[in-house]
Chain A
Amino acid sequence: MRPWARLGFWLPLGAVFVWGLVVLLLREDTLRETTFTLMMFVGMASSLNILLGYTGYVSFGHIVFFGLGGYFGFYLLSQQGLWLLPAAVGGGILSGVLAGLLGLAVLRLRGAYFALATIGINEAARAFVSNFGPFGGATGLFVNFQAYQAYGGAGPALWTTFMYLWLVTLAVLLVSALVQGSRFGLGLMAIREDEDAAMVMGVAAPRAKTIAFMLSAFFPGIIGTLYFFKNGNVEPGDAFQLHMSIEALVMIMLGGQGTVVGPALGAVVYQGLRGYLLTSPLFKSLHLAMAGLFLLLIVLFVPAGAVGWLRHRFPRLRKVLT
C-alpha cells in the first residue's frame, strides 16, 4: 500500500496546514510569536526523529545543525545580501553537507559513543564559531533594520518568516512520512533493530545512515536561519544550546519515537507544559525541576511515548497514528 493512501499519512500534515493557515488569517502578532516557537520545535523534533526514531542513532548535539546552518544562512543574508529564502536553503544545504561528511566518520560509532561524539561536535562548533571572524566571533552577527525594508517593513518580514517556517514544517512532516512509508525507511528501521543483521540482509547501512543523518540535519539548518532572522541577530550562546537538543529528544520521547505524529505532538505538549509551568504562580520558580520530574516519569513508565503507547494498547489505531 502506498503510504499516502493511509489516513494516518494526512493527519499530521493536515493539522499543521490548518494550524498555520488559521494563524496567517488571524494576523495577530502574539499568536504568531507563540506559534513560531511551537512550530519551530515541531520541525526540529520531527527532523531529529528521522535519525533517532527510524534509524535508532541518538544524536545528542543535533542542535549543531540548527546553529551552523542558521549561522551560515544568516551570514548569506546579512553579509552577502541574499534574500531570506535562498539564504535559508543555503543554511540547510550547509547543514546537510556537513552531516554527510561528519556522518561518514561519526556514524561508525554506536550507542552512547555516538551520543558523546555529537555532544563533542556541538561544543567544538560553538567554540570554533566564537573565534571565527566572518561569523562575527563571540559577538555574532546582526541584520540592520534597513534589511527588513526589503520585505515591506519589520512586521511583514516577520509574517513572511512565519510563512516560510510553516512551509518548512510541512515539508519536514511530509519527508518524515514518506521516509517512514518507503523501502528506504524499512531499511532504516532494520538498522535500528539490529544493524549487523540488517547488513547481512542487504541493507547498505553506512550509506542509509548517512542519508538519514543528512535529511535530519538539512531542515534544522533552514529553521535556524529563519529563527535568527526573526530575532535579528545570532550569537554563539544562542546557536548551540545543548539544552535545546535535549529538549527536542524529550519531545520525541514524549510523543513516541519512530512515528510521524509523535514528535510533533510531543513538541506541542512539551511547549504547552513549559508555558504553563513558567506562568503558573505555584510552579514558576520550580518550572525546570517540574519539567525534569515529568520527563523522568515518562522515561521510566511510558518509554514508547504517548503515540507508541496508544499503538501498543490499541493495535487498530496503527493505521491512523503513523
Chain B
Amino acid sequence: MILEVHHITKRFGGLQALTDVSFGLKEGEILGLIGPNGAGKTTLFNVLNGVFPPNRGQVIFRGEDITGLPPYEVARRGIARAYQVVRPLNELTVRENVMVGACYGREALPLAQAARVADEVLATVGLAGRAEQLAGSLNVAQKKRLEMARALGSRPYLLLLDEVLAGLNPSEIAAMLDTIRAIREGGVTILMIEHVMQAVMSVSDRVIVLDYGQLIAEGSPEEVVNNPQVIEAYLGDPQMTARLMGE
C-alpha cells in the first residue's frame, strides 16, 4: 500500500464533511473517487494533501504518518495535486509554472535541472510550443494541461486529480485519458475525482464512492455500478448502470 487512509473524520463547525473514511491505494493503481456533489470528495483531497488537518484519523503515505503536515511538507514527500478550478500562476511563463513544481516537489531540483524536467513534461502534455508564453494567456483546455504538467513536474509518487476532465470536449477527454494512462505507465499512482462517469469507469482499476461524507462502496468499476446503494445514492436509475457499462 502506498497510501493508507484510516478513519478520517472532518467537521466544519456543525457540518460533518467526512465520517470515518478508510481506504487504501496500491502502488501503480488508478483509483476513481466518485460521489454526488457535496459528498466530501474535495474535502478528502484537502485532508490528504494537508490543506487542513482532519479531526480524527490518520493518513499513512509510504509507511510514514503524514496526518496534519502542512501542504508543502506533503508535496515534498511526493503527493502532487491538480485542481478542479485551474490555478495557473498567471504572470509566470508556462515553463516557470512547471519549474515551481519541479523545484519544490519531491526531488527539489535546482533551477537548471527543473527547467529540463519542465520541458520534458510540457512535451508529454502537448504544451512544448508554449513554454515561453505567460500562463495567463492560455485557453481553458491548455490551462488544464498546464495544471497536470505542474503536478507531474514534481515527479510525484501519488497524483491527486480533481476533475481534470470537467469542461473538456470528447476529443480532449480522450487525449487526456491517454495522458493519464501514460502517467501511470511511468509508475505514478493516481487517485482521481471524476464526474465524467464513462471516463472514470474506463480508466480506473478500482472505484470508491463517497456519499454524505461516508464511504458507501468500494470495488471494481463493474461491482460499484451494480451496487444497489450506489445506484440509489448517485447513479439515480438502474438504466444508468446499463448505459455506463455497455458503452
> In the complex they form, do A and B come into direct contact, defined as C-beta atoms under 8 angstroms apart?
yes
A contact residues vs B (CB 8 Å cutoff): 1-2, 181-183, 186-187, 189-190, 192-194, 196-205, 258, 315
Verify A187–B71 contact, CB threshold 8 A. no
Q: What band does the interface of chain B fall in when counting residues whose beta carbon is under 8 Å from A?
A: 20 to 34
Instruction: State which residues 142-196 of B face A: CB under 8 Å.
Output: 150, 154
A187 near B89 with CB under 8 A, answer no
Q: Does B90 contact A (CB under 8 A)?
A: yes
A192 to B97, CA, bound (A): 12
Q: Is B83 interfacial (CB 8 A cutoff)?
A: yes
Known contacts A183-B103, A193-B91, A201-B104; can you find 14 more A-B pairs with CB under 8 A? A183-B111, A183-B114, A186-B99, A186-B100, A186-B103, A186-B111, A190-B89, A190-B104, A192-B91, A197-B89, A199-B70, A201-B101, A201-B150, A204-B70
Q: Judging by beta carbons under 8 Å apart, are A203 and B100 in contact? A: yes
Contacts of B89 in A (CB 8 A): 189-190, 193-194, 197-198
For window 80-137 of chain B, which residues contact chain A by CB distance below 8 Å?
Answer: 80-81, 83, 87-92, 96, 99-101, 103-105, 108, 110-112, 114-115, 132
B51 interface residue, CB < 8 Å from A?
yes
* Cα A197 to Cα B143 with chains together (Å): 14
Closest CB of chain B to A152's CB: distance in Å? Answer: 46
- Bound complex: CA of A202 vs CA of B71, how far in Å? 7
Q: Are B75 and A202 in contact (CB under 8 A)?
A: yes
With a 10 A CB-CB cut-off, give which of B72, B99, B111, B154 has the most chain A CB atoms: B72
A194 cross-chain contacts in B, Cβ below 8 A: 87, 89
* CB nearest neighbor in B for A189: B92
Specify the main secondary structure of chain A where it touches its partner. helix
Asked if A203 and B90 make an inter-chain contact with CB atoms under 8 angstroms apart, the answer reads: no
Q: Which residue from chain B places its CB closest to the CB of A200 in the assembled complex?
A: B71
Distance in Å: Cβ of B76 to nearest Cβ of chain A = 5
**Alpha-carbon distance between A193 and B97 when the two chains are bound, in angstroms:** 10
A178 to B51, CA, bound (A): 31
In chain B between 49 and 92, which residues have their CB closer than 8 angstroms to a CB of chain A?
Answer: 49, 51, 70-73, 75-76, 80-81, 83, 87-92
Contacts of A189 in B (CB 8 A): 89, 91-92, 96
Interface, chain B (partner A; CB < 8 A):
49, 51, 70-73, 75-76, 80-81, 83, 87-92, 96, 99-101, 103-105, 108, 110-112, 114-115, 132, 150, 154
Mind listing 27 A-B residue pairs with CB under 8 Å? A182-B111, A183-B114, A186-B100, A187-B104, A189-B96, A190-B89, A190-B92, A190-B100, A193-B91, A193-B92, A197-B87, A199-B75, A200-B71, A200-B81, A201-B75, A201-B80, A201-B100, A202-B71, A202-B72, A202-B76, A202-B105, A202-B154, A203-B72, A204-B70, A204-B72, A204-B73, A205-B72
Distance in Å from the Cβ of A149 to the closest Cβ of chain B?
50
Given contacts A200-B81, A201-B75, A187 and B91 within 8 Å (CB-CB): no
Q: Which 10 A-B residue pairs are closest in the complex by CB-CB distance?
A: A202-B104, A202-B75, A193-B89, A197-B87, A199-B71, A204-B72, A190-B100, A200-B71, A183-B103, A202-B72
Residues of B within 8 A of A200 (CB): 49, 51, 71-72, 75, 81
Docked Cα-Cα span, A54 to B92, in Å, equals 11
Which B residues are in CB contact (< 8 Å) with A190? Answer: 89, 92, 100, 104
- A189-B92, A197-B83 as given contacts; A202 in contact with B101, CB under 8 Å: yes
Are A186 and B96 interface neighbours, CB within 8 A?
yes
Cβ-defined contact, A201 with B96, below 8 A:
no
| In-complex Cβ contact of B104 among A2, A192, A203 (8 A) | A203
